[in-house]
Chain A
Amino acid sequence: MKKLLALVLTMIMVLSMASFAVAEGTTTVTWWVFPTFGQPDGAAPGTYERTIADAFEAKFPNIKVEIETIDFQNGPDKLISAIEGGTAPDVLFDAPGRIIEYGKNGKLVSLDDLFTDEFKADVASEDLLGACSDGTTYWMYPISSSPFFMSLNKDKFESSGAIEFVNLEGDRTWSTEDFLKALDKLNEAGELGGSVYCGGQGGDQGTRAFVANLYGARIANEAKDSYTIGSDEGVKALGLIKELVDAGKLEAGTDIVAGDEIKLYVQGILPYSICWGTSAAANNPTDFEKISVPFPSDDSVPELEYLVNGFCVFNNNDDARANAAKELIKFICDDEEFGPKNVLATGAFPVRTSFGNLYEGNPEYELLSAFTKYYGPYYNTMDGFANMRFEWWNMLQSILVGTKDIPTAVADYTTNSNAAFAK
């Protein structure tokens, strides 16, 4: 028995040493992915990412990539637990909101060395570069970007007569006045209005863009050192929304979040969505024809919110892993074959102008491409952004259920958000 035990232990030792010998010289990086890439033929999450990783491993045989898929519901909490527990991934594919927060808190590796002059010159706009930095350090390496906009149910707008007030020409910009007339038509036809969803944080960029555009308010000032929806324009817009909700022309979405709003729109219950984007369009096919439009604004010149997809590298106190992680993200974003292919898989526009027009002959994307000139200031990297988001949907709830009057709700929001900024 003792001999058998000794034999087993010896074998375990030999095998361990052998595997160590194989592993020696190989760096393993872990890559956590939110479901941002589209999957081929409805395959399981992570399938497309695996093909990228396989191609990368073929090119860099000394680097092994392990992929873990996370979802938008539980992923952020899982990330925080991993970061604080010392088990953060090496690479994360996400957006600036969270990434810049991690960077500011010293959890990431600086990506300044990836932002070469060639890359900076190739990126479509200064704002896109600004979205990747906290002002001093680049924390996110961007791959693609796309605007958030509204999507209208063409059938409902046509049958109610509301289509008369929708601009279907050019960039399809429209005024607040026309939007209100369209709401009247929908209401007269017995249709519901759109929902001002505020049951939680998810997709809150939609309600922020909707509120801010109505009368030309700004969520943050030019200097990006103050949250400013408490302006006259902002208060006026919130007052209008409350009036429309009370009149039954808009839905008080205190019990739904963006995902629910999109679902209700796709099901044909709501006549339009204010949380639409290329990703929503790709993942939510509809039985009706859709019309993409920018948000209505008083001067018909909207300021749109936009998504920037990019990668960050966590600081796991291992230079070899950090360098391998950087190689991986350069491959994903810049590889001649996989770079453009990966941009297409995000359903968004490349940040690199050298990739050219990837959606040649696609009229919808040509329209969306025109929307990019209406990109507003990118404030998602401001200090206290996470706190401001919490204050935002709670402010909307207070106004819509009437627990606070508008000036009080806005004052509380502004005070708390700016206090978080100053912390």
Chain B
Amino acid sequence: MSTNIFAREHKIQAQQTRVSYYFLLPALLFFVVFVALPMGMGVYTSFFKYTMSEFKFIGIDNYLNLFKDEIFVRSVKNTLIIVVGSVPIVTIFSLWLATIIYNMNSFSRSFFRAVYYLPVVTGSVAVVVVWKWIFDRYYGILNFVLQGLGIINKNVAWLGQVDTAIWCILTILLTTSVGQPIVLYVASLGNIDRSLTEAAEVDGATSFQVFWRIKWPTIMPTTLYVVVITTINSFQCFALIQLLTNGGPAFSTSTVMFYLYHNAFKLFEYGYANAMGVVLAILIGVFSALQFKVMGNKIDY
């Protein structure tokens, strides 16, 4: 009797599993065709001298050449500067702003969420055009304001100087990156059990202790998500560079993604570009794994 019940349950479960896979099938098909297959082809062709007219197996030569390529090495350094510079600032800044916004009334909260989210939903070309105008050497508002304040005495080519261009890119990246974390943090702060924070306050905990002991651990899953997504987006920084500086001046803003694009679309070195893509994917994977390892242990779901 019990064997029959067990067998029937097993059969129903198998049937349900099968149905679940049927439901997953369309999405899986898209994933395989548009993600997994191109990724596999990217890795495969990175071992070839692959240009417009050539397709020849060359083993790991593309990878060896990468590390002899000064521009690629420079691009990796710039990418790391962007990642290391943007991730902590985006995370801290968005958490700070979200805390302020969360304590506002519902109208103001919605208003500021919309304001900070606006650059995320605005097309990158439109955002870049506005920033290009701000940084413009001849009629940009930044030069106008700084000269008005007496901070500079002549116009500065913000995007045309080695020591300022990368900071301009970082600044723009920050404005386009904080929108989503702010919205997520505001939502996450709303999920904190009020009875816990109130009990702690009654027991004499300071604001800092309430934040550090109760709020911070509770919003840790959101923080992990924000950190990982910001890291990936920063590694893939491309549109800003292409539209603003073309990687210059003197490669000071060239990133791996930009150099990859340049090799693929301007020089038709598809295999070499794919090798860069593989290296970039490995870098992103390593960084993300480290973040999961370090921060994931502190998460109590």
Task: Using A105-B51, A107-B52, A394-B251 as known contacts, say yes or no to A199 and B268 having CB atoms under 8 A apart.
Answer: no
Contacts of A199 in B (CB 8 A): 159-160, 245-246, 248-249
Tally chain B residues at the interface, Cβ within 8 Å. Answer: 26
Of B52, B160, B245, which contacts A252 at CB under 8 A?
Answer: B160
Q: Interface residues of B: mostly helix, strand, loop or mixed?
A: loop
Q: Does A387 lie at the interface of the complex (its beta carbon under 8 Å from any beta carbon of B)? A: yes
- With A254-B157, A254-B248, A255-B249 as given contacts, are A401 and B265 in contact (CB-CB < 8 Å)? no
A199-B248, A394-B250, A401-B161 are known contacts. Are A106 and B266 too (CB-CB below 8 A)? no
Taking the complex as formed, is B122 at the interface, i.e. its CB lies under 8 A from any CB of chain A? no
* A386 near B267: Cβ-Cβ < 8 Å: yes
**Contact indicator B157/A255 (Cβ below 8 Å):** yes
A413 to B139, CA, bound (A): 33
Assess the A401–B267 pair: CB atoms within 8 A: no
Shortest distance from the beta carbon of A94 to any chain B beta carbon, whole Å: 15
A255-B157, A255-B160 as given contacts; A76 in contact with B265, CB under 8 Å: yes
A393 to B157, CA, bound (A): 17
Docked-complex contact B265 and A403, CB < 8 angstroms: no
Q: Which of B159, B161, B265, B270 lies in contact with A77, CB distance below 8 A? A: B265
Taking residues whose C-beta sits less than 8 angstroms from the other chain, chain A's interface range is 20 to 34
- Which chain B residues lie closer than 8 Å to A257 at the CB level? 246
Q: Tell me, in angstroms, the Cα distance from A112 to B137 when the chains sit together.
A: 49
Cβ contacts A to B, 26 pairs, < 8 Å: A80-B264, A84-B270, A101-B52, A101-B268, A105-B53, A105-B268, A198-B248, A199-B160, A199-B246, A200-B246, A201-B266, A252-B160, A253-B160, A255-B157, A255-B158, A255-B159, A255-B165, A255-B245, A255-B249, A257-B246, A264-B138, A269-B138, A269-B139, A390-B267, A401-B161, A401-B250
Chain A's nearest CB lies how many Å from the CB of B262?
Answer: 7
Q: State whether the Cβ of A397 lies closer than 8 Å to any Cβ in chain B.
A: yes
Q: Does A137 contact B (CB under 8 A)?
A: no
Does B162 touch A at the CB level, under 8 Å?
Answer: yes
- What chain A residues lie within 8 Å of B265 (beta carbons)? 76-77, 80
Asked if A398 lies at the interface with its beta carbon under 8 angstroms from chain B, I say: yes
What 1/0 flags go to A357-372 for Cβ under 8 Å of B? Answer: 0000000000000000
* Closest CB in chain A relative to B249 CB, distance in Å: 4
- Hey, which bits of chain B sit against chain A, CB under 8 A? 51-53, 137-139, 157-162, 165, 245-246, 248-251, 262, 264-268, 270
Closest B residue to A80 using CB positions: B265
Given contacts A105-B268, A256-B137, A390-B266, 13 further A-B contacts (CB under 8 A): A101-B52, A101-B268, A199-B248, A200-B246, A253-B160, A254-B249, A255-B137, A255-B159, A255-B165, A269-B139, A386-B267, A393-B248, A397-B250
Enumerate chain A residues within 8 angstroms of B264, measured Cβ to Cβ: 80
Mark interface residues in A78-95 (1 if CB within 8 Å of B CB, else 0). Answer: 001001100000000000
Q: A80-B265, A390-B266, A390-B267 are in contact. Are A401 and B162 (CB under 8 A)?
A: yes
Q: Tell me, rounded to whole Å, the shortest Cβ–Cβ distance linking A407 to chain B.
A: 16
A387 touches B250 (CB 8 A): no
CB neighbours of B139 from chain A (8 A): 269
Shortest Cβ distance from A106 into B: residue: B53
CA distance A404 to B51 in the complex (A): 31
What B residues does A105 contact at CB under 8 A?
A: 51-53, 268
- Output the least CB separation between A24 and chain B (Å): 33
B52, B160, B165 — most chain A CB neighbours (10 Å): B160
Q: A105-B51, A386-B267 are in contact. Are A254 and B138 (CB under 8 A)?
A: no
CA distance A1 to B24 in the complex (A): 30
Cα distance, A104 to B268, chains bound together (Å)? 13
Are A397 and B262 in touch, CB under 8 angstroms? no
CB nearest to A255 among chain B residues: B160
Residue of A with least CB distance to B168: A255
Taking the closest CB of chain B, its distance from the CB of A73, in whole angstroms, is: 9
A419 to B: closest C-beta gap in Å: 12
- B267–A80 touching, CB < 8 Å: no
Assess whether A386 is in contact with B138, with CB atoms less than 8 Å apart.
no
Docked pose: A423 CA to B160 CA in angstroms: 32
B53 contacts A398, CB within 8 Å? no
